[in-house]
Amino acid sequence: MTASPDSTVLNAAAERLRGAMTAGVPCDPVRGLLGAAAGPEAGYAVQQLNTDHWLAAGRRISGHKVGLTNPAVQEQLGMDEPVWGVLYADKCRTDGDDVGGAGLIEPRVEVEVAVVLGADLDLGSHTVADVISATAYVLPALEIVDSRLRWDITNFDMIADNAGSGLYVLGTRPVPLSAVDLRRVEMQLTINGNPAATGNGAACLGNPLNSVLWLADALSQYGTPLQAGETIMTGSLCGMLPLTPGDELHAEIEGVGTVSANL
């Protein structure tokens, strides 16, 4: 049986990650603080401690992200199951924004479909029909993922580090689900005008809607169900690509639209 960490150790892990994010300076992996207790459950406990801290400090949750939905990303990080994290309103950017100077440490980019909810998903166990009914619209999105741990991570580290959340950039032309088949969309990403990656909707758990379904069930079990108005970053349609200052990013998702940002 895996040992359960005490609150002192969990708080120490949360403080280390929080300090690294605030300072914009990487820290040592937090798994060493917990040893054999460093599993997913403990990771979400650390994540929740920092969520509680930031909410008390006045930040607002604007949605959630699902990570590790793409086999290419799972292979990059040596992991085999999705994880989730929290999105904050102050980390949302708009199509065309400059995202430099945001305290990023080792940013990487992913291209995703963002699903914006028009109704709660609080049924406990959901179907894809429930997800479709609750979806207000979708948007093209870039996720600028980051690691406070120099990407030296286990599943526990990534969960504790808010699933690698950095910034997210949203397109501004909403598309109804009735206008697009998310499973079959094709994606192209360019960096500085050069082709950088391609992908498709099926790379995200077979369909980005499956990602929302997985998250809805997971958060219902956790006691914090998805709510109307939240943005769900469903997961990458390609592998993560490293970024350097000055990079210009442009992505097009067939039928969903385009989104761009500058670093």
Residue 1 has pLDDT above 50, yes or no: no
The average confidence (pLDDT) of the chain is: 94
Quick one: which of 7, 58, 26, 41 has its CA closest to 160?
41
Q: pTM of this prediction?
A: 0.94
Structural domain boundaries enclosing 153: 60-262
Domain count for the chain = 1
Residue 2 has pLDDT above 60, yes or no: no
Q: Which residues contact 22 (CB under 8 A, 6 or more apart)?
A: 103
* Angle at which helices 40-56 and 7-23 cross, to 10°: 60
The amino acid present at 211, given as its one-letter code, is S
Averaged pLDDT for residues 11-16: 97
Q: φ, ψ for residue 70 (rounded to 5)?
A: -105, 130
Q: φ, ψ for residue 206 (rounded to 5)?
A: 85, -25
Domain assignment present for residue 181? The answer is yes
H-run or E-run covering 6: none
C-alpha pair distances (Å), 108 with each of 47, 167, 200, 203, 238? 21, 10, 19, 18, 12
The amino acid present at 220, given as its one-letter code, is S
pLDDT digits (tens, 9 = 90+) for 156-188: 999 999 999 999 999 999 999 999 999 999 999
Instruction: Classify 25 as helix, strand or coil.
Output: coil
Domain assignment present for residue 234? The answer is yes
Residue pair 216/121 in contact by the 8 Å Cβ criterion: yes
Domain assignment present for residue 127? The answer is yes
Domain assignment present for residue 120? The answer is yes
pLDDT digits (tens, 9 = 90+) for 198-253: 999 999 999 999 999 999 999 999 999 999 999 999 999 998 999 999 999 999 99
Model confidence band, residue 26 (pLDDT cutoffs 50, 70, 90): very high
Domain assignment present for residue 44? The answer is no
- Which pLDDT value is given to residue 81? 82
Looking at residue 223, which CATH number applies to its domain?
A: 3.90.850.10
Domain assignment present for residue 48? The answer is no
Domain assignment present for residue 28? The answer is no
pLDDT digits (tens, 9 = 90+) for 109-156: 999 999 999 999 999 999 999 999 999 999 999 999 999 999 998 889
- The separation between the first and the last C-alpha atoms of the chain, rounded to the nearest angstrom, is 46
Domain assignment present for residue 33? The answer is no
Quick one: which of 191, 174, 201, 184 has its CA closest to 69?
201
pLDDT digits (tens, 9 = 90+) for 35-87: 888 889 999 999 999 999 999 999 999 999 999 887 777 676 666 789 999 99
